[in-house]
Amino acid sequence: MKALFLLAWGAMVVGIADNIVRPLIIMARVQLHPLVLLFALVGGVQQFGFAGLFIGPVVMSLILALWRRFTSKLERPKRNRLPSDWKLLLSEYMRG
């Protein structure tokens, strides 16, 4: 009887905590898309073993932060537009 209770407890409470609550907490703290987080976790575990659960998302966050920083520097600044009465200003400039 105790074994059935332990099996039910593991399947219900611990299973829900491991499969639903933990990913929600990780996504909220890491602020990554769930698919990117999945790749980071799997790749981290593949490269670093158990420590990869922590190293993978950190490395992925660092890569994405550097990418965002790099692409923000590449954006061209908007050119200053002439005022709506540019003809008037141009004619005053030409008159001297």
Q: How far apart are CA 89 and CA 82, in angstroms?
A: 9
Over the stretch 6-52, which tens digit does the pLDDT of each residue have?
Answer: 888 777 776 666 666 666 666 666 677 778 888 888 888 899 888 88
Task: Confirm whether pTM is higher than 0.75.
Answer: no
pLDDT over 60 at 82, yes or no: no
Q: How far apart are CA 24 and CA 78, in angstroms?
A: 39
Over the stretch 58-76, which tens digit does the pLDDT of each residue have?
Answer: 898 899 888 888 887 776 6
User: What ranges do the domains of the chain cover?
Assistant: 1-30, 32-74
Give residue 3's identity as a one-letter amino acid code: A
* Contact call for residues 26 and 43 (beta carbons, < 8 A): no
| Percent of the chain whose predicted confidence (pLDDT) is above 90 | 2
**Greater model confidence, 7 or 90:** 7
Short-list 65, 35, 25, 20, CA closest to 43 = 35
